């Protein structure tokens, strides 16, 4: 199959590289000339484990290429995937579909034969109808079908997720298009993933429903964590206790500083707006968003509580370990570290930061912080360490060395990666999330 992938960002690049690894001929298109030039020279615009090697291998095998010429790639393609960004629209929370619609207009002007146009971008219900209308308006004689095929990739594990998916959702009522997409995914048939063939609008809604449900689990366990702290219970054991119920499951039941990233914040907002526009308000999702927004800044109060809880951290040096919204990515979009750091600065704290991968991206969004070379450099002379992202590098820090180089021995562990007993044995005051709190430092 000849595939044109419009958009060489996270979804487009990973999907294009994986499709080419299946044996398809793939061209990734992007109007960012600098990005395409970098990709041609082997430089990745994102950090994703294994991606650079996958791209290099398929480029060398001449199955994967990069270009800025959309018209040529689309004219030669059997399938065109639209994998452009759909960020929250500034001011109202609706998904910004301008990039999707621009791609549709360009596709309409380039189609030369029957082509399956697939929206892989996360889009609100009914977007496929508008994409079809735009293409038809641009090229009334074009032969094409518009299909919804949402992605379900986790940053940091995207290649494995693509090649070993939990499910593949294909939204179309066009038999010809269904046959083409089935052929595109034929290499996965040996893995026997569940394939849901449904209508286009159902496929579009499935993506938003999935992300919003996972976000709900996170918000729920975070509120249980708050209650656990008040009553002297342990949220980790609560999560295990309910997670053994296979109707609930153990995933996404890890209490922490709230969800962030490129998907959950914008997708929950977009789903809320869709509900409001269709007079079907989603009260649970609305509450999830509100709880999560409040939680990120509330974590700063947890840090202040470690020093007595008066809300004044003036003169305190705080070492923040982990800046990206999750490990194994450099993604800083809606990362919990950002509002946490802002709130700590508002309390008067001086902030030192370190992240194994995310420092270049963090420099674009953080101000008035000291960027450090390592976790130990970050902790030097600090009054407290705050663990925000659970990078593997932070799970086995030398507590004896930290105690020797810090001004005061305080650890605020927002990911519960340490045992309170172990940390306190080394003379630290320890503060976790949803576990019985020690006395204030």
Q: Looking at residue 400, which CATH number applies to its domain?
A: 3.40.50.720
Domain boundary among 165, 198, 231: 198
Q: What is the mean pLDDT of the segment spanning 224-235?
A: 96
Of 89-93, 256-260, 433-437, give the range with the top mean pLDDT: 256-260
User: 169 and 67, same structural domain?
Assistant: yes
CA distances from 342 to 152, 317, 339, 356, 407 (A): 31, 14, 5, 21, 22
Q: What are phi and psi of 426, to 5 degrees?
A: -90, 10
Q: Which residue has the tokens 């996972």?
A: 214
Q: Where are the alpha helices (DSSP H) in 187-312?
A: 200-231, 235-243, 264-277, 283-305
pLDDT in tens, 191-226: 788 999 999 999 999 999 999 999 999 999 999 999
Give the model's pLDDT for residue 189: 81
Report the SS3 class of residue 46: coil
Pairing of strands 384-387, 317-321: parallel
Q: Which residue has the tokens 């960004």?
A: 85
Q: What is the mean pLDDT of the segment spanning 297-315?
A: 87
Residue 403: domain span? 200-441
Q: What is the mean pLDDT of the segment spanning 4-19?
A: 97
- By CB neighbour count within 10 A (0-12 exposed, 13-18 middle, 19+ buried), where does 219 fall? buried
Q: What is the mean pLDDT of the segment spanning 306-332?
A: 91
Q: Is 192 or 183 the better-scoring residue by pLDDT? A: 183
Q: Is 440 or 238 the better-scoring residue by pLDDT? A: 238
Which sequence positions are flagged as catalytic? 263
User: 313 and 218, same structural domain?
Assistant: yes
Report the SS3 class of residue 397: coil
Is residue 437 scored above 70 in pLDDT?
A: no
Strand partners, 168: 195
User: 257 and 143, same structural domain?
Assistant: no
185: alpha, beta or left? (left if phi > 0; alpha if psi -120 to 50)? alpha
Longest Cα separation, the chain: 75
Q: How many CB atoms lie within 10 A of CB 47?
A: 19
User: 189 and 225, same structural domain?
Assistant: no
The model's confidence at residue 433, banded by pLDDT at 50, 70 and 90, is very high
User: 170 and 227, same structural domain?
Assistant: no
Domain boundary among 142, 175, 198: 198
The structure's pTM equals 0.93
Residue 358: closest CA among 323, 406, 387, 392? 323
Domain boundary among 182, 198, 214: 198
Is residue 440 scored above 60 in pLDDT?
A: no
Number of domains in the chain: 2
User: Average pLDDT over the chain, rounded to whole?
Assistant: 95
Which letter, b or e, does each residue of 190-209 get, where b requires 16 or more Cβ atoms within 10 Å of its Cβ?
Answer: eeeeeeeebebbebbbbbbe
Q: Which residue has the tokens 């080394």?
A: 426
Give the model's pLDDT for residue 375: 98
Give the model's pLDDT for residue 96: 95
Give the model's pLDDT for residue 438: 52
């Amino acid at each position: 199959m000849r595939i044109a992938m419009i958009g060489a960002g996270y979804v487009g690049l990973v999907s294009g590289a994986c499709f080419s690894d299946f044996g398809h001929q793939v061209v990734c298109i992007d109007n960012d000339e600098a990005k395409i030039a970098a990709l041609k020279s082997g430089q990745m615009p994102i950090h994703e484990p294994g991606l650079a090697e996958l791209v290099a291998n398929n480029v060398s095998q001449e199955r994967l290429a990069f270009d800025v010429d959309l018209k040529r790639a689309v004219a030669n393609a059997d399938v065109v995937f639209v994998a452009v960004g759909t960020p929250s629209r500034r001011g109202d929370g609706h998904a910004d579909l301008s990039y999707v619609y621009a791609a549709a207009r360009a596709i309409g002007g380039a189609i030369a034969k029957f082509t399956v146009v697939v929206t892989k971008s996360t889009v609100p219900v009914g977007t496929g109808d508008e994409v079809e209308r735009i293409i038809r308006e641009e090229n009334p004689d074009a032969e094409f079908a518009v299909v919804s095929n949402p992605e379900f990739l986790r940053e940091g594990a995207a290649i494995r997720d693509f090649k070993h998916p939990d499910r593949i959702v294909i939204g179309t009522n066009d038999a010809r298009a269904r046959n083409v997409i089935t052929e595109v995914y034929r290499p996965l048939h040996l893995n026997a993933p569940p394939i849901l063939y449904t209508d286009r609008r159902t496929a579009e809604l499935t993506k938003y429903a999935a992300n919003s449900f996972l976000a709900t689990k996170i918000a729920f366990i975070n509120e249980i964590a708050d209650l656990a702290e008040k009553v002297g219970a342990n949220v980790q054991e609560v999560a295990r206790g309910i997670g053994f119920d296979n109707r609930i499951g153990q995933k996404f039941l890890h209490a922490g500083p709230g969800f962030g990233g490129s998907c959950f914040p914008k997708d929950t907002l977009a789903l809320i707006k869709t509900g409001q526009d269709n007079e079907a308000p989603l009260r649970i999702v609305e509450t999830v968003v509100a709880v999560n927004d409040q939680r990120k800044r509330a974590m700063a109060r947890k840090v202040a509580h470690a020093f007595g809880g008066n809300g004044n951290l003036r003169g305190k040096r705080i070492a923040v370990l982990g800046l990206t919204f999750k490990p194994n990515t450099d993604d800083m979009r809606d990362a919990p570290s950002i509002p946490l750091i802002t709130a700590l600065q508002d309390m008067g704290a001086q902030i030192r930061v370190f992240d194994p991968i995310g420092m270049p991206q963090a420099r674009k969004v953080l101000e008035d912080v000291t960027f450090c070379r390592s976790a130990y450099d970050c902790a030097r002379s600090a009054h407290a360490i705050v663990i925000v992202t659970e990078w593997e590098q932070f799970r086995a820090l030398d507590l004896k060395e930290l105690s020797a180089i810090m001004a005061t021995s305080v650890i605020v562990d927002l990911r519960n990666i340490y045992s309170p007993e172990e940390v306190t044995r080394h003379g630290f005051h320890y503060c976790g999330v949803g576990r019985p709190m020690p006395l204030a430092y």
